[in-house]
Amino acid sequence: MHALQIDPRAAFSTIAEVLGVSDRTIARRYTRLRAAGAVRVLGAVDPTALGATQWFLRVRCAPGASVPVAEALARRPDTSWVSLTSGGTEITCTVRTENEADSETLLLAKLPRTPRVEGVTAHSVLHVFYGGPDNLIAKLGALDEAAIERLRPPPLPNRGGPVRLDDVDRKLLAALAADGRAGFEHLASVTGWSPTTVRRRMTELREHGVLYLDLDVDGMMFSLATRTLLWLSVAPSALQQTGEALAAHPEIAFAAATTGPTNLCASVVCADQRELYRYLTTQVAALPAITHIETAPVIRTVKQA
């Protein structure tokens, strides 16, 4: 898992050499874990690189209505991390909107008029401190520094400027969303490009920050069963410092500055409620700029990445 987090498209032979086992062992383990839904490498898109806006929505529902509303949100192609929280009467989800019209339609028209939806709070993501290509697996420290250096791919240059996607780009991104380790020959058959063109376009999209490779992992494999969302209020002058400190905590899978009633959101993953209590009363309590904190335990995750 840690090897794939460092380089999601690393050759099995490279991982095998670092771990001291055979290529066949690595291939067999990965195939078994992927078939069981325990791990998946996927190509993800950073919506902000395409000028889109990312939102966290908190949707309050009447008792008994949250599950069908959550499932309807999960079916939308623009949503991820749809979860039931706060005793099952609230839904939280991540939504990307391509333009102001999309935002207005979803936030002002569709959701508020959905039967048995009692209220919607929207938080626009301003800055991500930890998340996206950063994965919680990296904080578990299964590999030593020497192994990490052997696996780490060369850094990609950061190329600015606008990026326009055409229909073939979208086919490529859809194929990578299904399998981020798909071979260039397969991706060529999907897109109609040559393998060389596929490789070049993937590199361009990654250099522009549009495409990144992510690892979707079942936390139960690491005894990380409790996921809790934190909604924090922080003095604006200390927001950057507090966000960076929070992002460094081993328990934090995601942290971002947002608009809305609170200005810092985080996803905490712990082994159990006792560990969550310890984390809140030690590491979070040690951050002096936090003036308010709300915890929302995740009861069920309807949709992940």
- Give per-residue pLDDT as tens, 220-270: 777 666 889 999 999 999 999 999 999 999 999 999 999 999 999 999 998
**How many residues are present in the chain?**
305
**Per-residue exposure over 62-90, b if at least 16 CB sit within 10 Å of its own CB, e if not:** eeebbeebbeebbeeebbbbbbbbbeebb
Where are the domains positioned within the chain? 48-126, 129-141+220-303, 164-207
How far is the C-alpha of 121 from the C-alpha of 263, rounded, in Å?
13
Residues 202, 190 contacting (CB under 8 angstroms): no
How far is the C-alpha of 45 from the C-alpha of 53, rounded, in Å?
12
Percent of the chain with pLDDT over 90: 62
Residues 129, 243 contacting (CB under 8 angstroms): yes
Residues 240, 162 contacting (CB under 8 angstroms): no
Angle at 122 between CA 117 and CA 128, to 5 degrees: 140
The pLDDT value recorded for residue 103 is: 63
Average pLDDT of the residues in 278-299: 95
pLDDT level of residue 285 (50, 70, 90 thresholds):
very high
Residue 127 has pLDDT above 60, yes or no: yes
**pLDDT 10s digits, 167-222:** 999 999 999 999 999 999 999 999 999 999 999 999 999 999 899 998 888 777 77
CATH architecture of 164-207: Orthogonal Bundle (1.10)
Phi/psi at 155 (5° precision) = -65, 145
Among the listed ranges 4-8, 155-159, 262-266, 292-296, which one has the minimum average pLDDT value?
155-159
**129-141+220-303 has the same fold as 48-126:** yes
Cα 259 to Cα 38, 83, 152, 244, 265, distances in angstroms: 34, 20, 35, 17, 10
- 129-141+220-303 belongs to CATH 3.30.465.10: no
CATH architecture of 48-126: 2-Layer Sandwich (3.30)
The pLDDT value recorded for residue 85 is: 92
Residue 119 has pLDDT above 90, yes or no: no
For 49, which DSSP code? G
Nearest to 258 by CA among 270, 267, 249: 267
End-to-end, the C-alpha distance of the chain in Å comes to 17
Residues 226, 272 contacting (CB under 8 angstroms): yes
Cross-strand partners of 60: 90, 119
pLDDT level of residue 24 (50, 70, 90 thresholds):
very high
Mean pLDDT estimate for the chain: 89
Q: Which amino acid is at 145?
A: E
